[in-house]
Amino acid sequence: MTAPDRVLTDPCGAVIDIVAPIEPGLAPEQIREAAEEAAPSRTARRLLAKALTADPDLLTSTRPEGPPSVERLIRGLIARGGRQVAIPLCAGCGKPEPLPQRRGKLRICVYCDANERARQQPCSSCGLPRVIRYTGRNGEGLCFLCRPDDDTDWTQRICDHVAAVDPTVPAEAVREIITTITRGRPHYVRRLAWDLEDRPAMLTGNAAHGTPKIIALIDALRDAGAQAIVRPPCPVCHRTSVTLRNTMGDVRVCPTCYNANKAVDCSRCQRRSPVARRTIDGQPLCNRCDRADPINHDECTGCRQLRVIVWRTSPTGPVCDTCYRPPTAICVLCGHERPCIGVSSGMPRCEGCSRLREPCLDCGRTMPVKARTPDGPLCETCFKRNPVSFKTCTRCGTVERLRHHGLCHRCACDQELNTLLAGPEGDLSGPLSCLHSTLMASNHLRVLEWLRAENTAVATLRAIAVGDCSLDHEALDARTDKAVEHLRAVLVAADLLPHRDERLAAAERWITAAIAAITDPADRRTIQAFATWTHLTRLRKHSRRKPITAGQTTSARRSIKAAIDFLAWLRAENLSLETVRQRDVDRWLDGVPSTLQCARDLVLWAVRTKRASDISIPARLKNTPTSALDEDERREIALRLLSDDQLDTRDRVAGLLNLLYAQPFSLIIRLTTDHVIVRGQTVLLRLGKEPLELSPELGHLVAKIAADRRRAGQMGHIDAPWLFPGIRPGQHLSHITLAARLKRLGIQSLPSRTAAIRDLTAEVPAAVVNRLLGISASTASSWAKGTSRASYAAEVARRSTATSDS
């Protein structure tokens, strides 16, 4: 490869080739880091490599020539241990200062540049060759001794101009707007007041000749409710809904008109568009052709594909626009912690606040602009419904909102999956072909979003495709990540992995890690035996009947954590399970959180296995009875769930089963189509030993969710039997998620169940409640004893006895 080609394709590599012989003590990685810091953009790196290729002596001589990136590279090399390179000296004073300015072909420091400017343009007031610090009213330069008069309250003058046009805006609000726009700098306020005094008509629509501060002031006043203040129209297209950000001649225009004026014919696609870059021979390239040029492509560290790099200084290396994630910060506008732009500048702004907001053409709401039509702007919601957003796919001819590169969602998904799942031979074969078919049968938009968001899962899939990762549960267990767990569910749904109890596997992994973290060998052996024979055996036995619940794994973790803490405390007190006494256990429990009572399992096990004697930890007190939901409120919520069609159907069914039939969330989420029985117009639901006939309204809702079990945004098979499917394929909804969704409707499990059980046992015998609802006979009987039905029967019996005696 020739040197010019090397400069274009790999400028950092070209710099390494030049620097490495000069600084043999530096590693290539260090030279690459210094080059990327000195020239953050690819264009700057090309200029740096081109300058060093033409004159390598710039690194060892003190000549102040070349682009500023050469000096920054030299300083970066010295900071990393370079000894052969030399810092260039200022062409004016000869000092090794930073050289950001230029005098002809030579570079000078800021001090020499200021003195040079002072000699070329003396102060217009005193005529002395001093450094210009201020600008006068007519643009003349002034030194620090001839600064403009600062005794005038320029902010008040601006307020007077605004009040003369629109007196409805409070002066305090105008002052706050001025401070925000000018950032409290006096010369900005002074220039703003001068512009309004010279051209008072700027506030009434003639601000196209004004400065950006004038336009920002007008926009802020309009947002504050000023009706007489008029936004300036673009002098070219005459639109008032755009911001005049660019200058064309002596007027300010909108970006669209500016780009149209600067547009030329692209040398490759021949389309007329703004110039994004020029080739070596000076030919213009549009943005699309520039992005498609292989010279601009590099391997992304996220997706491992050759793509356009948008962030080269990330901790992991070059990142493409698909894998790039903005840093999280607190937005200065809305105050929420979200991914923001402008974090390095100290003014982070989230995506919602950084987008321009205008009244939507269809709905009329002031929203971020998604697209612009000849008639006006559209928000994202209206844009999705508007026919202007639908175009023809270049591959299959489908008319819909296209994804990228002119492809519909299905074709884009097929292209992405083919690229990702291609094996070493470049084709799909074996299990990956089955996975491709499964994902293509899913929601294409959801698959595309998943491929873009979950970098870990995508990297794992790519590793499986090329053979770097085996397709089994053990290989995925080594990659602990939520995205990998979702990928596991997709693979299980595609029958590429066998089904297993994931909560049990997660509990086993957690217990293994917790035991490995114990430093004392004796304590490690004790916890190993305790966890295996007390918790793992019980969990595995339960898992053979049905999958274990989240509550069971949580209880096991709490018990093992408390056991580890208890043994660590004994070790610190020079005690052990053999020597500890009850007074020591009481001292352990005295004044500590109640969660330490979870060590009771360890104590019981130690006493039972003769590892300890004569010690005990009392059982935790049961929670106080939960107060029942008010009957009127319960009835109101139930009627709303039955009648409000705007609510999610699954939320309505789950809430009614909890409110009317006392079903806990943990059982509701496990309902399948086998529990639903349809007999003509009647719908029955099997909650206990015998099916329960539902009311027509509730039966219609249950039949509806049984017929459509597709979860919005779910990938993989949709034939899972769950009435309440989760986001992961083949899995039901989490009871925590269901509780959070129903809580927004005013439904909490325990108060609602308490009211329902009390009402049911007052009207129906306990045996019937047991057969129809699955509530145990003992629970139903205990509730029936305290209901008004039992009290009423006892009262009738007492009266009958009294009558017969009389």
Structure-token match 């225009």, residue found = 253
Q: In the predicted model, is pLDDT for residue 479 greater than 80?
A: no
Place of tokens 């336009």: 215
Q: Is the pLDDT confidence value at 616 over 50? A: yes
| Most confident listed range (206-215, 455-464, 507-516, 669-678) | 507-516
Better-scored residue on pLDDT, 27 or 452? 27
| Helix, strand, coil percentages in the chain from 3-state DSSP, rounded to 5 | 50, 10, 40
The answer, yes or no, to whether residue 262 has pLDDT greater than 80, is yes
Domain ranges of the chain: 3-108, 117-146, 391-493, 502-608, 631-790
Tens digits of per-residue pLDDT, 153-169? Answer: 888 888 888 888 888 88
Residue range 166-195: average pLDDT? 84
Q: How far is the first Cα of the chain from the last one, in angstroms, to the nearest whole number?
A: 120
Confidence of residue 515 (pLDDT cuts 50, 70, 90): very high
Residue 171: which of 162, 183, 181 has the closest Cα? 162
Closest among 403, 507, 486, 406 to 448, alpha carbons compared: 403
Token pair for 30: 């260090």
Q: What is the pLDDT of residue 796?
A: 43
Give the model's confidence band at 793: pLDDT under 50 very low, under 70 low, under 90 confident, else very high.
very low
The reported pLDDT for the residue numbered 803 is 47
pLDDT at site 511: 92
Tokens (6 digits) for 145? 């001794």
Please tell me the predicted confidence (pLDDT) of residue 527: 92
Per residue in 330-384, pLDDT (tens digit) is: 887 778 888 887 776 677 878 777 777 788 888 888 888 888 787 888 888 888 8
Q: Are 410 and 403 in contact (CB under 8 A)?
A: no
Quick: pLDDT tens for 686-737: 888 888 888 888 888 888 888 876 554 455 444 567 888 877 777 778 878 8
Note the residue count of the chain: 806
Are the beta carbons of 280 and 237 closer than 8 angstroms?
Answer: no
The burial class, CB within 10 Å (0-12 / 13-18 / 19+), for 583 is: exposed
Which helix (H) or strand (E) element contains residue 306?
strand 306-311
Q: Which of 735, 759, 740, 741 is nearest to 634 (CA)?
A: 759
pLDDT reading at 92 higher than 70:
yes
Asked whether the predicted pLDDT for residue 443 surpasses 50, the reply is yes
Q: Are 661 and 687 in contact (CB under 8 A)?
A: yes
Give me the chain's average pLDDT, please.
80
pTM above 0.75, yes or no: no
How confident is residue 593, by pLDDT bands cut at 50, 70 and 90?
A: low
Q: What integer is the mean pLDDT of 469-473?
A: 82
CB distance 284 to 278 below 8 Å: yes
| pLDDT score for 529 | 92
DSSP string for residues in 370-415: -EEETTEEE-HHHHHHSGGG-EE-TTT--EE---BTTB-HHHHHHH
Between CA 340 and CA 362 the distance in angstroms is: 29
| CA torsion through residues 470, 474, 478, 479, sign | positive
What is residue 169's predicted lDDT score, i.e. its pLDDT? 85
Task: Dig out the tokens for 346 from the structure.
Answer: 């100290």
- Predicted confidence band of residue 799 (pLDDT cuts 50, 70, 90): very low
714 neighbors 729 (Cβ within 8 angstroms): yes
User: Would you state the pLDDT for residue 25?
Assistant: 86
Looking at residue 305, what is its pLDDT? Answer: 75
Q: What is the pLDDT of residues 502-511, one digit of tens each?
A: 888 888 888 9
CATH fold of 631-790 reads: hpI Integrase; Chain A (1.10.443)
Instruction: State pLDDT tens for residues 720-729.
Output: 678 888 777 7
Query: pLDDT (tens digit, 9 = 90+) per residue, 305-328?
Result: 777 777 766 767 788 877 888 888
Encoded tokens for 756: 């329902």
Higher-pLDDT residue of 85, 149: 85
